[in-house]
């Protein structure tokens, strides 16, 4: 999955895919100005709660659509920086006038609003399978006798995989497959090194571990997408299609806490939009009919088969907020 998405030459994201457009791999919130407006309201609320201006750091800015809309809706003094791994997508972001880099270490610590829309679901996962008696195997990628990609079971590449499930009190059933992402900890530690105070918002599909790894999902949640269609075979058109898996929100929370952040809570995207005040969007733009349609679509938006949740975290000493309850 890491190679298919991020290989320096052939990776799906490295090549700078169309995201969100008609021929893009998938739909995303970032296509909708109304969504950017809601995030802008969240940034402004965060600034009021912190009591000073915040710079915004967006992770995985894609084509830069969301960043471009947010900076349009915000005062010109807003400092907006994208951290993006894909060089081609960075080019697209620069063309939209956005500041972008692949290196978070170049940023000094400061009061910050961290934003990640559908970035966590694009982190590579390990795939494990259980024999039902507590024994786990990892599913590696190899070649079959026809030189085609195939899954080959083997010993776990790291004991962290078994530890994760053990810590989450997850016991997989016979033949059950689970995807495990081990990236969250390092990711949040890096964020912690640049956020002196502020809030973090991640928008993504996923679930708490107990639901994500229930036996009803015995084949896991890894899926592949091309031109707005699910393609069902991760080994098809490698580097030409998107691969993704549901986010383990329990693991995300644990990693955030271990990095010094405090979980504020989570909520589905639909109610979040209204709590944060999306209806103000209708009075701000000319075509309120279109705006209403966009808001309705955003409220329902299910991308890649799952609905979106908003996960909010804060640094110590700040009040709760950011649309988790009606304000
Ligand atoms: C599913 S796309 C979402 C893009 C955009 N946020 C949107 O909603 O349209 C994932 C994005 O995250 C980027 N990405 C993946 N891992 C990253 C990381 N560790 N740091 C920063 N960006 C990353 C990808 O290159 C891609 O731009």
Q: Whose CA is nearest to atom 24 of ligand 1?
A: 60
Report how far residue 143's alpha carbon sits from residue 151's, in angstroms, rounded to the nearest whole number.
8
* C-alpha to C-alpha distance for 309 and 295, rounded to whole angstroms: 16
- For ligand 1, what atom is nearest to the CA of residue 6? 25
Cβ neighbourhood burial of 283 (10 Å; 0-12, 13-18, 19+): exposed
CATH number of 2-124+182-213+221-314: 3.40.50.12710
Nearest CA to ligand 1 atom 4: 62
Instruction: List the chain pLDDT tens, one digit each, 327 residues.
Output: 999 999 999 999 999 877 655 555 566 788 889 999 999 999 999 999 999 999 999 999 999 999 999 999 999 999 999 999 999 999 999 999 999 999 898 899 999 999 999 999 999 999 999 998 889 999 999 999 999 999 999 999 999 999 999 999 999 999 999 999 999 999 999 999 999 999 999 999 999 999 999 999 999 999 998 877 888 899 999 999 999 999 999 999 999 999 999 999 999 988 899 899 998 888 888 888 888 888 887 787 655 555 889 999 999 999 999 988 755
Closest residue by Cα to atom 14, ligand 1, is 60
Other CB atoms within 10 A of residue 270 CB: 17
Burial class (CB in 10 A: 0-12, 13-18, 19+), 280: exposed
Q: How far apart, in whole angstroms, are the C-alpha atoms of residue 13 and residue 60?
A: 10
Using the mean position of ligand 1's atoms as its centre, give its distance from the Cα of residue 119 in Å: 4
Domain boundaries, the chain: 2-124+182-213+221-314, 126-180
The CA-based angle 247-229-58, given to 5 degrees, is: 40
Q: Which residue has the tokens 């407006």?
A: 37
pLDDT recorded at residue 64: 95
Q: What is the pLDDT of residue 29?
A: 82
Q: What is the pLDDT of residue 298?
A: 79
Residue having the nearest C-alpha atom to atom 13 of ligand 1: 60
CA of 144 to the centre of ligand 1 (A): 32
pLDDT score recorded for residue 25: 54
115 bridge partner residues: 58, 201
Distances (CA, A) of 317 to 45, 108, 321, 323: 16, 21, 13, 18
Distance in angstroms (rounded) separating the CA atoms of residues 118 and 316: 25
User: What pLDDT, on the 0 to 100 scale, is given for residue 284?
Assistant: 83
Cβ atoms 295, 280 nearer than 8 A: no
- The DSSP element (H or E) to which 187 belongs, if any, is helix 184-194
Number of other CB atoms surrounding residue 318 within 10 Å:
16
Q: What ligand 1 atom has the least distance to the C-alpha of 19? A: 9
pLDDT at 31: 83
Q: Provide residues with CB under 6 Å of ligand 1.
A: 13, 19-20, 28, 30, 59-62, 83-86, 89, 117-119, 122-123
CA triple 252-257-258, angle to 5 deg:
100
Check residue 240 and give its pLDDT: 93
Q: Ligand 1 centre and the CA of 60: distance in Å?
A: 3
């Amino acid at each position: 999955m890491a190679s298919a998405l991020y290989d320096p030459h052939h990776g799906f994201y490295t090549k700078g895919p169309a995201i969100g457009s008609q021929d893009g791999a998938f739909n995303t919130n970032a296509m909708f100005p109304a969504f950017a407006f809601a995030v802008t309201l969240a940034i402004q609320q965060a600034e009021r709660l912190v009591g000073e201006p915040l710079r915004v750091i967006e992770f995985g800015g894609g084509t830069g659509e969301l960043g471009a809309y947010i900076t349009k809706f915000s005062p010109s003094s807003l400092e907006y920086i994208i951290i993006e791994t894909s060089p081609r997508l960075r080019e697209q972001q620069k063309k939209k006038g956005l500041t972008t880099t692949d290196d978070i270490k170049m940023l000094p610590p400061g009061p910050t609003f961290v934003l990640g829309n559908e970035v966590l679901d694009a982190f590579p996962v390990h795939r494990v399978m259980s024999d039902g008696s507590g024994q786990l195997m990892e599913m590696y990628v190899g070649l079959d006798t026809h030189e085609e990609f195939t899954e080959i079971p083997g010993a776990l590449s790291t004991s962290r995989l078994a530890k994760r499930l053990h810590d989450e009190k997850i016991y997989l059933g016979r033949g059950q497959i689970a995807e495990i992402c081990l990236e969250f900890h390092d990711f949040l530690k890096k964020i912690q090194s640049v956020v002196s105070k502020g809030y973090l918002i991640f928008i993504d599909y996923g679930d708490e571990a107990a639901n994500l790894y229930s036996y009803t999902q015995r084949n896991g949640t890894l899926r592949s997408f091309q031109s707005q269609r699910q393609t069902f075979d991760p080994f098809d058109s490698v580097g030409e299609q998107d691969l993704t898996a549901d986010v383990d929100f329990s693991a995300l929370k644990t990693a955030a806490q271990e990095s010094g952040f405090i979980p504020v809570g989570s909520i589905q995207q639909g109610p979040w939009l209204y709590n944060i005040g999306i209806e103000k969007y209708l009075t701000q733009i000319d075509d309120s009919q279109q705006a209403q349609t966009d808001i309705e679509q955003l409220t329902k938006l299910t991308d890649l088969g799952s609905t979106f949740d908003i996960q909010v975290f804060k640094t110590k000493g700040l009040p709760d907020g950011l649309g988790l309850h009606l304000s």
